[in-house]
Amino acid sequence: MGRLIGIGQSFEAALFSGDTAGLKKVLHESLVYEVLGEPPTGGSFQGRERVLEAFEKRETGLGPGFDYQELGRSWHEDRSGGKVFVEIHERSWLPDFPDDILEVRTCSVLTFVGDVIVSIIDYTDSQAYAEFLARHREHIPKFQVT
């Protein structure tokens, strides 16, 4: 495993566990985070604090409230250095609609300067998200008005 993959995996572990201090160690203060697609499932965020806020609020994607199955995850480091590619294959579904499965593949590109991430771009099937949202907007906790 390459050095940058190790840092990328540390980033992912800190993200999934809610370890803000761990995230701040590996994310540059001028970080740019882009998720393909239009808000509310996609968007662009600038600056580490703003990106951390977007992570915490689950501003991209469909948000919490789903069952989930990871089908595959592979890490690759660019031979010329500076980039790590993470290929993710996953399924998600609402517990009340177990037969309507959102299956997507995402490629995350992490760009590094030294040992910190300066850019994250998530390339995913934004159309699949939009179609799922159209079918279930009123059932997705992120979009329920209280």
Count of structural domains, the chain? 1
Amino acid identity of 91? Answer: R
Q: Measured in whole angstroms, how far is the alpha carbon of residue 112 from the centre of its chain?
A: 17
Question: What is the DSSP code (8-state) at residue 20?
Answer: H
pLDDT in tens, 1-10: 799 999 999 9
* Cα distance between residue 118 and residue 111, in whole Å: 6
For residue 146, is pLDDT > 60? no
For residue 7, what are its two tokens?
């840092």
Residues of the chain above pLDDT 90, percent: 68
* Cα distance between residue 118 and residue 31, in whole Å: 5
Within 8 A by CB and 6+ apart from 4, the residues are: 77, 81, 82, 83, 84, 110, 112
* CATH at 41: 3.10.450.50
Domain that holds residue 55: 3-143
Comparing 7-16, 18-27, 70-79, 128-137, the range with the smallest average pLDDT is: 128-137
For residue 107, what are its two tokens?
């490629």
Contact 5/77 with Cβ under 8 angstroms?
Answer: yes
For the chain, how big is the Rg over CA atoms in Å? 16
Q: How confident is the model at residue 126 (pLDDT cuts 50, 70, 90)?
A: confident
pTM confidence score? 0.89
pLDDT in tens, 72-109: 999 999 988 899 999 999 999 999 999 999 999 999 99
